[in-house]
Amino acid sequence: MANIKGKHVIPGESMGTEEEFVPGLGTYVEGEEIRSSAAGMLSEEDRSLSVSRRNLLSSLRSGSVVLGRVENVVEPIALISVLPIQGGNVRFAQLPDNCVLHASRIKDGFVKNVRDELRIGDIVRAKISEIRQGEIHVSTEGAEFGVLKAFCIKCRHPLALLGGALSCSSCGNKENRKLASDYRSVSI
Ligand SMILES: [Zn+2]
């Protein structure tokens, strides 16, 4: 098996077989497969596999690029659950605490209301700007950051980008977001 130490895993992910390894903390066995019972970081010692939850948070650094989902908007901030990215694949490993995105860090230029740029349920690419007392602050400033997938606030249909404007092909609603330059070209 490839080098697995330090790998982020999600609940249910297969990490190896009982032929190779011994199941440890944070794992369960299904058939012959040892799977993770938690979102966290995998470690292996003396052929025993275990998953540590906390290391997921501690593995994030200022400057890390993350995918997240907007869980709530409480002006002037959005609360975002982070989905760490690994090797181009999205890992839906929700952290225990949400990250904070302040209106002033959404884009270059003044943002009066978070809701003018982001809505609950949107998937965003963000950069960790600061980790302070366990609180993670993120930013979506810059062309590659911002909303990757948005949903109609009226009918929840995914919004399409047509002629530079976001619109709902189901109900015709037009909306605005701080978009990432590759909006909807990423499969999520
Ligand atoms: Zn709609």
Sign of CA dihedral 97, 125, 7, 17: positive
How many structural domains does the chain have?
Answer: 2
CATH code of the domain containing 132: 2.40.50.140
Q: Say if 188 falls within a structural domain.
A: no
- Domain range enclosing 46: 8-58
- Read off the pTM: 0.68
pLDDT mean across residues, the chain: 85
pLDDT of residue 67: 82
- For the stretch 16-52, pLDDT in tens is 999 999 999 888 888 889 998 877 788 999 999 998 8
Q: Are residues 41 and 86 in the same domain?
A: no
- Is pLDDT of 173 > 90? yes
CA of 165 to the centre of ligand 1 (A): 14
Q: Are residues 82 and 158 in the same domain?
A: yes
CA of 126 to the centre of ligand 1 (A): 25
CA of 121 to the centre of ligand 1 (A): 14
Using a CB cutoff of 5 Å, list residues around ligand 1, an ion.
Answer: 152, 154-155, 157, 168, 170-171, 173
Structure tokens, 72:
């709530």
CATH code of the domain containing 34: 2.40.50.100
C-alpha to C-alpha distance for 134 and 48, rounded to whole angstroms: 30
Q: Are residues 83 and 149 in the same domain?
A: yes
